[in-house]
Structure 1
């Protein structure tokens, strides 16, 4: 017979779980703010110290509106980038620790399952060709196919195909494959994932990012009345030595979400500012993304079909036939910090600044 009553066991287990959760939160807070401090140092090394009044406003806003000065470091970054403090900003750590888990929940994890994406979105904008699921090969319509058939499907139009593993993001587990990579029989050493056709990008993007397909990130959010709105956009460009756009080396340029015009200032991966692509030498000022309205309408329409997720980041490109091609979607902790720093506040009126009160009461 146990020396401890069941109720005491349950209480102890609940307390241990709370302690573990609090420890995880503390570690994540530390990680977020270490990132913020590193970015702030990089920005200030180029621009000089951040205005002290803006720093004080950021501290006060974090404490009074967001519930803790722990959210101030990313507000300091935003103020350093923009040159002043703007009420309504959502700090990166507040978004990751409060908004994302409170609003998205478990359903957002499905966006990481790339082999399942087209079953949910059901759109021709995805360049999906085939899938690997539990070691078996499937065509785009989820019909089982042999490895020989798979190779015929993948290379019917191109000599390369892109493979993206499930549960990958930011360019991780992305590889280019040729027909020689596929034995007619035997074990196919690939995890679950999707094969996609390479995107032949529109000349606008090819001029700016000739080595890697440029990525247009469009962020949509659910309004309080249930409608979907485009809240932010930015363009990610590759470097000359990259075959895909990589976070460790990319160039980012904010985009006007209303008309698709590029800002005149871009940012290297370490947040240093530039006014032209460092490899191509093309300046950002005066450039407007072609068929931008078509791309934003696609993102709004797809998001409207998934209202469970309040905020989504869509990665796409316009192809040589002037059509938007969707690379992937991001539901769990989709990046908002770059847009907030460069063009924010982007998410005012959604009530996110009050979620910490519900989070604390849970």
Structure 2
């Protein structure tokens, strides 16, 4: 074999490694830029020299170079609690997530239209119309535009429409009703609303939620964000928070003005919630106190999450959004493996909990 051929073969083999490193570098830079911008907007106290040393030593002893303590400062600055094992975005996104979750599975398996097939054995909001790559579907059968319009027009209750690909942060998630062939969304016709979304979206019946969660904010579906981890021993719950929307908002996202509050093992809220301004809140915008509020059927929620995780073992860490219906049964709203939203550490402590060492070691081993 010629010297040229040897060099070519060696170079080709290294291309995936080079691509991986470049992707990691890009994610690290993006994460740090995001946090530096966030810190610049807030007047948060700096960590002590001892806290900085403790955090860096912790990660160094586990094979990681903690290049900054931006996230430790941000989380402590809001909740007043320092933990050396807070997981920063610039370690989680480029190092942990790609190593534990198969990146090649993300584009297909995260299409929210597919969840009705993947998780068919579990409760989900009733689908009215799906648009998949420009084709309209009702009950898994292709229909024309007019049939899709008629299906939505025949529903008297509130509906919700949302994209099914490249979603996040509540973007383009809207609730509406149909009155005299017009939607309550900007008085659009159903066809005009469909055109706004283009393709790859779903229209669902709005889930009538539990009285307990409705009392915290009736305008949004308030959901549980539960992070689970799959290993050889089974599925483990790493973190659990309740997300509550801002009064009048149709989404419960933290980024759109909502709040989140940690959940104890028995389903009781921790009592202190946090909003995007970095403020500690003890009650929802409706005036209902968070302290003493208990998630209905929480044991069933955990059981459901553990059962669902076995369906998609390609992903070892998953963030699940779970709603509770008016009869207190859990419903899958969506699941996330790419954008997990790890800022829930503010409300529930270090993301990886008692499995931090195991997961950090696993990410290094696979990389």
Instruction: Give the TM-score normalised by structure 1.
Output: 0.83
Q: Return 5+ residue gaps in structure 1 as ranges.
A: none
RMSD: 3.1
Q: Call closer, same or farther: CA 1:18–1:113 in 2, change over 3 Å.
A: same
- 1:129 equivalent to 2:125? Answer no
Q: Deviations over 1:257-303 (max 9, x none)?
A: 411211221111133322223x3233211211222222222212111
Shift of 1:210: 2.4
Contact 2:212 2:296 in 1 (8 A): yes
Q: Deviations over 1:47-102 (max 9, x none)?
A: x4434422220122233324202264323434445545435443332221111111
Q: Call closer, same or farther: CA 1:38–1:182 in 2, change over 3 Å.
A: closer
Q: Return 5+ residue gaps in structure 2 as ranges.
A: 183-188
Contact 1:66 1:356 in 2 (8 A): no
Shift of 1:115: 1.3
Match of residue 242 from structure 2:
235
Shift of 1:219: 1.5
Contact 2:254 2:275 in 1 (8 A): no
Contact 2:86 2:349 in 1 (8 A): no
2:279 to 261, 268, 272: 272
Alignment of 1:114-125 (within 5 A): 114-125=112-123
Shift of 1:107: 2.3
Shift of 1:213: 1.8
- What is the distance in 2 between the residues matched to 1:149 and 1:108? 31
Q: Call closer, same or farther: CA 1:157–1:189 in 2, change over 3 Å.
A: closer
- 1:201 equivalent to 2:200? Answer no
Shift of 1:231: 1.9
Q: Secondary structure at 1:144's aligned position in 2?
A: strand
Q: Call closer, same or farther: CA 1:315–1:337 in 2, change over 3 Å.
A: same
- Structure 1 residues 32-41 or 256-265, which shifts more? 32-41
Contact 1:54 1:84 in 2 (8 A): no
Shift of 1:217: 0.9
- What is the distance in 2 between the residues matched to 1:223 and 1:190? 39
1:286 to 259, 271, 292: 292
Match of residue 141 from structure 2:
143
Number of residue pairs aligned between Structure 1 and Structure 2:
351
Match of residue 152 from structure 2:
154
